[in-house]
Chain A
């Protein structure tokens, strides 16, 4: 048996990551429904949270470790996992503060790859796997999702052009709730499993579980609860950017976007690509702006997001590498504790900064004035 204290710290940090994963990604499923008024903001996050919980239990096939195929798992130690998680959490919180929907999966992968490089060198990273499984699909998926959503939007508007506006709005809002629920379900299944995989990996690395063991029930339960709670907390800043910042969305567009997202995510996971829900959802929402005649797409906002996506892997990697370096220099459990304290300080700092321009269920739909903070709170954010 290995180091129990260290193991507990890693498990708790993994659950904290799962929580940030949940609240960072609420918008992927629910932003369009909230923007069109199909669901009240609080109802939307509650529904999404519940469906994430259900989704996490639905499929228990593989505790697909996010690291397998990307790094040499024999070289992964508890400290490496911990440092990788620290990188993922830091990037998630930072992008949440800026209201940028960036990929939680990329943040986690970047963090783990970075800490692995710091621990064992570049040869421990399976670069071919990284490109084939992560980077190339990440480039393609938003484009495909956007195309599908654009075509769907065009068809939906064309077919329903003779239906009165009231009936159309009512009908599509129902469809929108259904399609957004599918995205939430798929998210719970995909993303909760990533953390289950990480914790299982840590348990195996510590010798608590035999190699090739499946995720124990308590791991599944904890991960499901963490991601569901995170989703329910609602990353309002990200929801606002997705729902109001990119395109002004009507309910037919919302339904087309969510259908495209659900279809692409489910299909890709069927083929073994664990895509970023965020990239797909953002591509879909952009697509609905392109597919509707006269809709205005804020390409500047889209460009800022794309830039953040490019930085996600290396930035989370740098933090992961730094965290490993620091923990390694201090050494042992003490090193991990020091990094944990630093991580808590950074998290607290970001949270504190966010209070001065808070976005919540009450102002999430306020008119988009060029920044994630609603007009009343804009001054503070301009100073960031």
Chain B
């Protein structure tokens, strides 16, 4: 414990901050990616098919995986609100 900087709090803020602040958007991106999967499992081509902007690709596995990702993100947001309500 440093007298000027609380190193104990600092490293937790950095680590949990990375998990929540960068990890959750990444997980959201994984969800979007899964959601856009085609039924045959192939990802929708990016450059070649730019006009295709269907968010839902139609793969059942992809949709299930996406649902899981979004559920985790929502749960984390809910926990964040819980922290606010309890006075941080």
Q: Which residues of A contact B (CB under 8 A)?
A: 55, 58-62, 131-132, 136, 140, 144-145, 147-149, 151-152, 155-156, 159-172, 175, 178-179, 182, 185-186, 189, 252, 255-256, 259-264, 266-273
Q: Smallest CB–CB gap between B87 and chain A, Å?
A: 3
Q: Which residues of B contact A (CB under 8 A)?
A: 3-6, 9-10, 12-14, 16-18, 20-26, 28-30, 32-33, 35-36, 43-46, 49-55, 77, 80-81, 83-88
Given A62-B87, A165-B53, A266-B80: A152 and B32 interface contact (C-beta under 8 Å): no
Q: Enumerate 17 A-B pairs (CB-CB under 8 Å) in ascending A order.
A: A58-B84, A132-B4, A148-B18, A159-B33, A160-B33, A162-B45, A163-B44, A164-B50, A164-B54, A167-B52, A171-B35, A189-B84, A255-B28, A256-B22, A259-B21, A263-B21, A266-B83
Q: Contact at B85–A136, with CB atoms within 8 Å?
A: no
Q: Contact at A185–B46, with CB atoms within 8 Å?
A: no
Name the B residues within 8 Å of A169 (CB-CB). 53
Which of B21, B29, B51, B88 is the one whose CB lies under 8 Å from A159?
A: B29
* Bound Cα distance from A380 to B23, whole angstroms: 45
Q: Smallest CB–CB gap between B61 and chain A, Å?
A: 16
* Bound Cα distance from A15 to B21, whole angstroms: 32
Q: Smallest CB–CB gap between A243 and chain B, Å?
A: 18
Q: Smallest CB–CB gap between B55 and chain A, Å?
A: 5
Tell me whether chain B's interface is mostly helix, strand or loop, or mixed. helix
* Bound Cα distance from A163 to B81, whole angstroms: 30
Name the B residues within 8 Å of A147 (CB-CB). 14, 18
Q: Smallest CB–CB gap between A55 and chain B, Å?
A: 7
Q: Smallest CB–CB gap between A59 and chain B, Å?
A: 5
Q: Contact at A270–B83, with CB atoms within 8 Å?
A: yes
* Bound Cα distance from A147 to B81, whole angstroms: 23
Most buried by B among A140, A160, A178: A160
Q: Contact at A131–B4, with CB atoms within 8 Å?
A: yes
Given A58-B85, A164-B53: A136 and B5 interface contact (C-beta under 8 Å): yes
A169 to B, closest residue via Cβ: B53
Q: Contact at B4–A262, with CB atoms within 8 Å?
A: no
Q: Top 7 nearest A-B pairs by Cβ distance?
A: A166-B53, A61-B87, A263-B21, A152-B22, A269-B88, A260-B21, A155-B26
Q: Contact at B55–A159, with CB atoms within 8 Å?
A: no
Q: Contact at A140–B86, with CB atoms within 8 Å?
A: no
Most buried by B among A168, A171, A172, A259: A259
Q: Smallest CB–CB gap between B30 and chain A, Å?
A: 6
* Bound Cα distance from A149 to B5, whole angstroms: 23
B13 to A, closest residue via Cβ: A267
Q: Contact at A270–B22, with CB atoms within 8 Å?
A: no
Q: Contact at B21–A149, with CB atoms within 8 Å?
A: yes
Name the A residues within 8 Å of B49 (CB-CB). 164
Most buried by A among B3, B21, B33: B21
Most buried by A among B22, B45, B55, B80: B22
Given A162-B46, A259-B21, A264-B21: A155 and B29 interface contact (C-beta under 8 Å): yes
Q: Contact at B9–A185, with CB atoms within 8 Å?
A: no
Given A264-B17, A266-B80, A266-B88: A148 and B22 interface contact (C-beta under 8 Å): yes
Q: Smallest CB–CB gap between B83 and chain A, Å?
A: 6
A186 to B, closest residue via Cβ: B84
Q: Smallest CB–CB gap between A82 and chain B, Å?
A: 28
Q: Contact at B13–A268, with CB atoms within 8 Å?
A: yes
